[in-house]
Every structure is written in C-alpha cells, then in structure tokens.
C-alpha cells in the first residue's frame, strides 16, 4: 500500500460558501433538504437513524443542515443516545482500536486516550459507524 497522508480525504467548505448554499437553497428550493454529510441523505432515504451519528460526532454539520423535522425525529432514535463508556470501549476493543475510552457525553463526544483524532479519518468514521449501530 502507498503511504497515504492521514487526513487528505477530509472535505471542507468555507463558511462563506456554506452561508451562500443555505441562503440560495432557502430562496430557490424551499422545503428541499440540504445536507452537509452524505450519511444524512441515507437517513432520509432509509428512514433509519444516521449511520454515523452525525448529530453526536459532527454537531456543526447536523445543526447547519436543513433537514425535515421528521428526519430529525428519526435521528433522535439513534442508539448513540444510550451510549455508555463501557459500550464504547467494547466497540473499540472489537475493532482492534488501541485506545481507552475516558468519557462519553453528547456535548464533548467520545474522549479517548490517545485522542481519536490521532487516528485516520477512515478509522474514525468506522468507529462512529459501529457506535451508531445497536
């Protein structure tokens, strides 16, 4: 395998562009959802809680997305709201992630040692996906 940089696949939109997208969407496409995470579109299509728990692990993207109320209600049914430190540690152990869970809450998210942000984007997303499953 080639030596791929750790975070070269992270997508980023400048805030000015985000504001323009939201403004134009509201003006020209009222009632049409605008998602800043592709997994949110899957939530709408499949009618299941977000597969990567965007509402917990990327609150900013969740809060700025223009989702229907019914979709936000689906996301509130996510197993992530029943997460415990012990369950999170079991998920990391099962995935073979060498980290210890220090704490978990919806405000700060998952706190690990070493910090989960030290791992690749793909590993973090895999962890989030498994934490989101019941």
- For the chain, the structural domain boundaries read 15-78, 83-132
With beta carbons less than 8 A apart as the criterion, state whether 103 and 111 touch.
yes
Angle at 83 between CA 80 and CA 89, to 5 degrees: 120
Provide the pLDDT for residue 125.
Answer: 85
Provide the pLDDT for residue 64.
Answer: 93
Residue 126 CA, chain-centre distance (Å), reads: 10
Residues (pLDDT < 70) of the chain are 1-11, 134
């Amino acid at each position: 395998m080639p030596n791929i940089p750790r975070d070269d696949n992270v997508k980023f939109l400048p805030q000015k562009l985000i504001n323009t997208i939201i403004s134009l969407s509201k003006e020209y496409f009222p009632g049409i959802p605008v998602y800043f995470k592709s997994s949110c579109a899957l939530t709408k299509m499949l009618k299941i809680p977000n597969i990567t728990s965007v509402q917990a692990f990327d609150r900013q993207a969740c809060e700025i997305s223009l989702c229907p109320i019914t979709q936000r209600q689906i996301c509130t049914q996510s197993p992530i709201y029943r997460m415990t430190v012990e369950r999170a540690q079991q998920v990391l152990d099962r995935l073979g992630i060498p980290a210890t869970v220090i704490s978990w809450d919806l405000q700060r998210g998952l706190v690990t040692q070493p910090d989960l942000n030290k791992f690749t984007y793909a590993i973090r997303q895999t962890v989030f996906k498994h934490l989101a499953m019941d």
